[in-house]
Amino acid sequence: MKNKKANTFAVIGLGRFGSALAKTLAKAGKDVIAIDSDENKVRALQHDTEYALVVDEITKDAIKDAGILNCDTAIVCIGEHIEGSILATLNLVSLGVKRVIAKATSPEHGQILEKLGAEVVYPEHDMAIRLAKRLLSDFILDSIALDDNVEVAEIKISSKLENRTVFNSEIRKKYGLNIIVIVHEGKVITDIAPEYKFAIGDKIMVIGNKYDVKRLEDYISG
């Protein structure tokens, strides 16, 4: 990876989270540098990316030698080793990597990473919230928070909306939510027609304020 390309990624730390991330990005056709100190973990990624490397410590020299400075985004996935996570993040930011994202295992860990200049993700925390919402609702199938206020939610249609059109349901007018996908009998519909009539078994994906998503859920389940 000698020349900088658009949408190139470095994934540092190949535990379950890092490995899944690297594989998903590589399968999407992106250039991925995958790094870990464990040779077995690196070897497991070599059929997904030709840039899977064994690196014992994420020093500035190691970052340069691995070609990470050619990447648009570097993701530090070594949250279980806090000191290593912090040092890797510090070195990436100080070398001017365009975008640094770091996995945190606690709020305190996350605060340090943020102060260093990284975007912080909490995979376990976010997955726990998503699972809790699914367990607490018969109609919320999944949800992803985009920030503190906005989320994307997958909602199952109930009898409250059965045989009503997208227009007559007034989901946007009443709840301020935009329908971005409808799934009908396994078919994904992205071109949402106002006259589309909802059926039991349909799923819709909406985006908007999380409180408005809750209001819609309350109506559908009521």
Q: 182 - beta bridge partners?
A: 189, 204
Every domain of the chain with CATH number 3.40.50.720 lies at 8-121
pTM of the shown model: 0.64
Question: Mean pLDDT across the stretch 115-131?
Answer: 82
**CB neighbourhood size of 119 (10 A):** 12
CA angle 101, 126, 213 (to 5 degrees): 115
pLDDT at 129 over 80: no
Contacts of residue 179, defined as CB under 8 A and 6 or more positions apart, other chains included, come to: 166, 171, 172, 192, 204, 205, 206
Pick from 135-139, 173-177, 209-213: least confident: 135-139
CA 82 to chain centre: 21
Q: Which of the listed CATH numbers 3.30.930.10, 3.30.70.1450, 3.90.1150.10, 3.30.360.10 matches domain 126-221?
A: 3.30.70.1450
pLDDT tens, position by position, 7-17: 799 999 999 88
Compute the mean pLDDT over every residue in the chain, rounded to the nearest whole number.
Answer: 88
Question: Mean pLDDT across the stretch 98-112?
Answer: 92
CA 138 to chain centre: 24
Residue 84: which pLDDT band, with cuts at 50, 70 and 90? very high
pLDDT the model gives residue 4: 45
Hey, which bits of 43-149 come out as E strands? 51-54, 73-76, 99-103, 119-121, 140-145
pLDDT the model gives residue 102: 94
Which CATH fold topology does 8-121 show? Rossmann fold (3.40.50)
